Amino acid sequence: MTNEKGEEKRVRAIKIMNQLESLRQQAAILAATHNELVLTKQTLQRLKDLKEDEKALLPIGPNFMVKVNLVDKDHVLYQVNPELVVEMKIDSAIKEIDRMVERIRNDLKRIDEISLKLRKELETILKEIEKK
């Protein structure tokens, strides 16, 4: 292997390592979002069992809650994007969460597949570099 080809392989190996790190970070963000959605779904399912005018604890931040009286437990507000909030029935919100969770699972699966392919390529390149 010429020095030029060896250098190309080292550069490619570094690029693959950077891609793998980026994919790892993306997977971590998706996993955190997945967990938040699962907790949100559980909360909505419990909310359905409460009675109107029943008191509930509303989280307002880490470790802080406020007592509230439920006025309308059948609807929630969903922030579609920074400019749009829509009101929807809890059952519709749960279905939307299920769709979001499924998309995240598919994205995580794709990240795993891409990462595996990149790790194999990296392993091959590193073996070739070692032979030099």
Provide the residue-wise pLDDT of the chain in tens; the chain has 132 residues: 577 888 899 999 999 999 999 999 999 999 999 999 999 999 899 888 888 778 888 888 888 999 988 888 889 999 999 999 999 999 999 999 999 999 999 999 999 999 999 999 999 999 998 886
Residue 132 confidence (pLDDT)? 66
Is 103 inside any structural domain? yes
Question: In Å, what is the CA distance from 90 to each residue of 45, 48, 78, 129?
Answer: 8, 8, 10, 57
pTM (two decimals): 0.82
Is 32 inside any structural domain? yes
13 lies in which domain range?
3-50+90-131
Is 121 inside any structural domain? yes
Residues whose CB falls within 8 Å of the CB of residue 26, separated by 6 or more in sequence, listed in order: 111
Question: Rounded distance, CA 35 to CA 50, Å?
Answer: 23
Length, in residues, of the chain: 132
Is 31 inside any structural domain? yes
Is 58 inside any structural domain? no
**Domain tally for the chain?**
1
Residue 98 confidence (pLDDT)? 98
Say if residue 93 is exposed, middle or buried (CB neighbours under 10 Å; 0-12, 13-18, 19+): buried
Question: Rounded distance, CA 45 to CA 36, Å?
Answer: 14
